Structure 1
Amino acid sequence: MSHRRRQVTYSSHPNHAARAAHARGSREFRTYDTSYIRPKQSKAPMVVALALALLAVIVGALFLMRSCAGPELLAEGEQAQVVVEQGESARDVGNSLAEARLVASSQEFVDAVSRQNADASIIPGTYTFSGGVTVDEILRTLQAGPAFAGALSVPEGLRLSEIAARVQEVTGGRVTAEAFTQAASDASAYAADYAFLEGAGENSLEGFLFPKTYDVPADATAESVVRMMLDQFATETASLDWSYPESQGLSLYDALKLASIVEKESTGDEGIRARVASVFYNRLTTEGDPSYGLLQSDATTAYEVGHDPTPEEVHADTPYSTYAHAGLPPTPICSPGLACLQAVCAPDADALGRDYFFYFDAEGNYSFSATYDEHMSSFS
């Protein structure tokens, strides 16, 4: 038989002394310092929170400082190009300068222009500025005009290769003849901007590089010089009436080819050029003539062979032989001047009516005839 051990507990009916003792113990326990036995709390969250708050303050301060300081301008040593178009206002120019980060705002430039009453003295052109330039220095440069490499003189009758050599010379070799020739090698690359190039296809710009003297900017590229000359062609030919060549089945490109031949085959005043143009129209359009359709121009073969051609060369079966092939050559053979373009647009009506097929130039004294016999008599 086992005996269960009696568990000793506090009395369920404590007396007054016991209750007093318990109360004192409870009070002492509540006031007892137990921090040394409590788990340690990490200070990391507080440190991180303080760091984030400090970072937010710093970022906010930097943003405020940048906002107050304005946009970041172009650094010294860096360069930016600005194009000032004809008719642009000071505000337009200021916007371009601000976009190039040369001035803090368009208004800064407008204010400078207003102070100096310089709105009408800004010269259009292409400018290159370096970082660190002041708004007053910019304005003085715009009033002085763009820097030029030199004057490019393109007389009537030059070929593309000859123009390219002159571009290289005037730019001191910075734009090489090869680079210019390459830039002018495909008319279709510019056709979207110049409608008159539509008929040229992928041929070169031979014939379209308008004869004139050009001020070439110091920072010009091969393409910018090409576009300068195409712009001039558009300006010079804007008032021409192409209806006559169109009535003869010629496109603008065809008319340009014919004008380039007239340029090489004639000299003198517009009247002579218009009569020479009439001779070539007669050869192209008069059916029944033994040479119907044959221009018979030595100049087209000269373009192909690069020198005064021999009789054998002009009659050879080559693309530019207008003795062997009827019609116009594949491309223009030079850049004709305005007088020859006008002659093709308005040929001499009297020469057309007389069916002149031949002409003879004796040092500027031209003789025109309808038959070969009359032509040969000019030499006697």
Structure 2
Amino acid sequence: MSNYDRRDRQDETAMWDAGEVRRQESAQQQRRGDEKRRSARRRTGTAIYLVCVVLGSCLLAGIGWLMINDLCSLNKAPVEVEITVDEGDSVSDVAKKLKDAGLVNSKGFFQLASGFLHYSRYVEPGTYKLNSDMDFRALIVNMHDWKQDSMDAQGLVQVTIPEGYTVRQIIDLLAEKGVATKAELEDACANFDFENYSFLSSDTLGSIDRMEGFLFPTTYTFDKNKTAVFAVDTMLTMFKNQVSQQMLEDIKNSPYDLKQIITMASIIEKESIGDDTERKNISSVIHNRLERPNSEKGGRLLQLCSSINYIMVHDGISKFDTTIESPYNTYIHEGLTPGPICNPGLSAIKAAIYPADTDYYFFALGTDDKSHFFTDYNEHLRFINSAEYQPIYS
């Protein structure tokens, strides 16, 4: 090989070595760049991960704090409301009522928590006073009638007798509440000689009607372990206590005896739908017709729908008819009915004793749900033929 060829070969080798060095340096630079980029991506990913962890933790902490606030009733505006749980209400229905009332913040969370707080064991239909100081457990526990539980354990039952109930309605109500059986109550009313009550007539012994007017309507707590006689005696005692000595003196000085006053009061109770003023005005109509009869103003015929209604219920008549032959029909028989037609409350009894001082002889119910009073028949007739009149019976 010539010197020239050797030099060319050495030059080529040197050139290849230089190129290889450059390629290796370039590769190393690329690797270093790739490593830097990968390192940067790792740092960015780590930073994003840490930010997500922090944000997620803050979010969960916030949600947890809100849930704890709701569960434990913290930081709530003061609210006190009545919540009614209706028969058939679901947990969702009750949760919505609580949320709408401002007692819970989250309907869903209350539903979730209710399972752990024994919702089904406590919550029952009823109306309850609740407030925003109550946590979830307190809300659930307070939607339960604990007083009734105590009464049930003692064999006690609370019964409210509405004003205007007849003796038959009272017997049915007491039997329904378990105070005694219907047969026992009917027997006590009809046959037991309640000798301590002079207002009960011995002539009607054997009929439950002798109690009509004297079973005072109010709220009682009866003991189921005691007899039907005890229950009836409790109501008679209440009547005796409600009619004061002064009232008895005023009745004695009037044209009426106690039974007639209670009869009048029972009619007032059934005819009235308003306040004491209306009751006293109705009483004045009855007093005026009985004490100052005027043939042009109905004479002593009271002509009261309530007397016909009593006959219909008492005798099982389905059609309203003012010509029914009965001593209780005030359209064909003058004066008061033979006895009370219901059990009146104290306001009606006082109205019977102390009527308003008026010249009214007529009254009728208007479409405004108020009684309208008149001094002469023509005024009364114009009213009942007008669109303002509201017929009670058809």
Q: Which residue of 2 aligns with 1:328?
A: 336
Q: Which residue of 1 aligns with 2:380?
A: 375
| Count of aligned pairs between the two proteins | 228
Larger mean CA deviation between 201-210 and 318-327 belongs to 201-210
Equivalent residues of 2:285, 2:361 under 8 A apart = yes
Give distance in 2, aligned partners of 1:251 and 1:180. Answer: 28
Q: Which residue of 2 aligns with 1:361?
A: 365
Give distance in 2, aligned partners of 1:327 and 1:243. Answer: 23
Q: Which residue of 1 aligns with 2:185?
A: 180
Correspondences of 1:185-200 after superposition (within 5 Å): 185=190, 189-190=193-194, 192-197=195-200
Give distance in 2, aligned partners of 1:300 and 1:185. Answer: 23
Give distance in 1, aligned partners of 2:318 and 2:251. Answer: 29
Give distance in 2, aligned partners of 1:308 and 1:358. Answer: 26
Larger mean CA deviation between 201-210 and 250-259 belongs to 201-210
Partner of 2:247, secondary structure, is coil
Matching of residue 269 in structure 1 with residue 275 in structure 2: yes
Correspondences of 1:54-203 after superposition (within 5 Å): 147-171=154-178, 175-185=180-190, 189-190=193-194, 192-197=195-200, 202=205
Question: 1:327 Cα deviation (Å)?
Answer: 1.4
1:126-171 CA distances to partner (integer Å, 9 max, x unpaired)? xxxxxxxxxxxxxxxxxx9x93431111010001111001111111
Correspondences of 1:36-51 after superposition (within 5 Å): none
Q: 1:310 to 1:245 in 2, by over 3 A?
A: farther
Correspondences of 1:242-281 after superposition (within 5 Å): 242=248, 245-281=251-287
**Structure 1: gaps of 5 or more residues:** 1-143
Question: 1:229 Cα deviation (Å)?
Answer: 0.2
1:8-57 CA distances to partner (integer Å, 9 max, x unpaired)? xxxxxxxxxxxxxxxxxxxxxxxxxxxxxxxxxxxxxxxxxxxxxxxxxx
1:91-146 CA distances to partner (integer Å, 9 max, x unpaired)? xxxxxxxxxxxxxxxxxxxxxxxxxxxxxxxxxxxxxxxxxxxxxxxxxxxxx9x9
Partner of 1:314, secondary structure, is coil
Equivalent residues of 2:201, 2:210 under 8 A apart = no
Equivalent residues of 1:164, 1:178 under 8 A apart = no
1:287-341 CA distances to partner (integer Å, 9 max, x unpaired)? 3324222111121121122179755x22222121111111111221100000000
Equivalent residues of 2:215, 2:236 under 8 A apart = yes
| Partner AA of 1:372 in structure 2 | Y
Return the match for 1:238 from 233, 244, 267.
244
Question: 1:347 Cα deviation (Å)?
Answer: 0.3
Tell me which protein shows more helix as a share of its residues: 2
Partner of 1:164, secondary structure, is helix
Q: Which residue of 1 aligns with 2:326?
A: 318
Equivalent residues of 1:242, 1:345 under 8 A apart = no
Runs of 4+ in 1 over 3 A off after TM superposition: 198-203, 242-248, 307-311
Give the TM-score of the pair, scaled to structure 2: 0.53
Q: Which residue of 1 aligns with 2:52?
A: none
